[in-house]
Amino acid sequence: MQKVMHRLRLSQQDAHYGGNLVDGAKIVALFGDVATELLILLDGDEGLFRAYEKIDFLAPLYAGDFIEVTGELIHIGTTSRKMHFTCHKVINARPDINPSAADALVHHILTTEAIGTCIVPKEKMRKKHE
């Protein structure tokens, strides 16, 4: 199955709570971005997000952290596309040391995991599936 990965740094603008904590809605929005890319690659159309079966928030994220967000197709229906999403922290901001300190993580930390389904209406599909 097809897989997409985005890597980015969470900024101060992403911090929503005290202590520069980033809210889970930011990661859910990023899952939507990788889902959109997967749908474009598969069908030539952005499609629509239909539903999440589950979303698990497993570890906190903070402004300055670097993350990898992945989406992988796990089932292709007639118009539905089921996907598995993950978010891993790959660099940990270390403001406790100084404002610009950070640690590259040898073992990436799974922070968020989800399963979701998107829909691409048949009339909008621009690519044939075998």
Smallest Cα–Cα separation from 19: which of 52, 64, 73?
A: 64
What's domain 3-124's architecture?
A: Roll (3.10)
- Rounded to whole angstroms, the Cα distance separating 98 from 96 reads 6
Residue 62 is classified by DSSP as B
Smallest Cα–Cα separation from 83: which of 43, 122, 123?
A: 43
Burial class (CB in 10 A: 0-12, 13-18, 19+), 19: exposed
For strand 102-119 and strand 21-22, is the pairing parallel, antiparallel, or unpaired? unpaired
Element (H, E) at 34: helix 24-43
Helix then strand then coil, % of the chain, to nearest 5: 20, 50, 25
Q: What is the pLDDT of residue 34?
A: 97
Q: What is this structure's pTM? A: 0.92
> Residue ranges of the domains in the chain?
3-124
Tens of each residue's pLDDT in the chain, 130 residues: 699 999 999 999 999 998 999 999 999 999 999 999 999 999 999 999 999 999 999 999 999 999 999 999 999 999 999 999 999 999 999 999 998 999 999 999 999 999 999 999 888 888 776 5
As beta bridge partners, residue 118 has: 49, 81
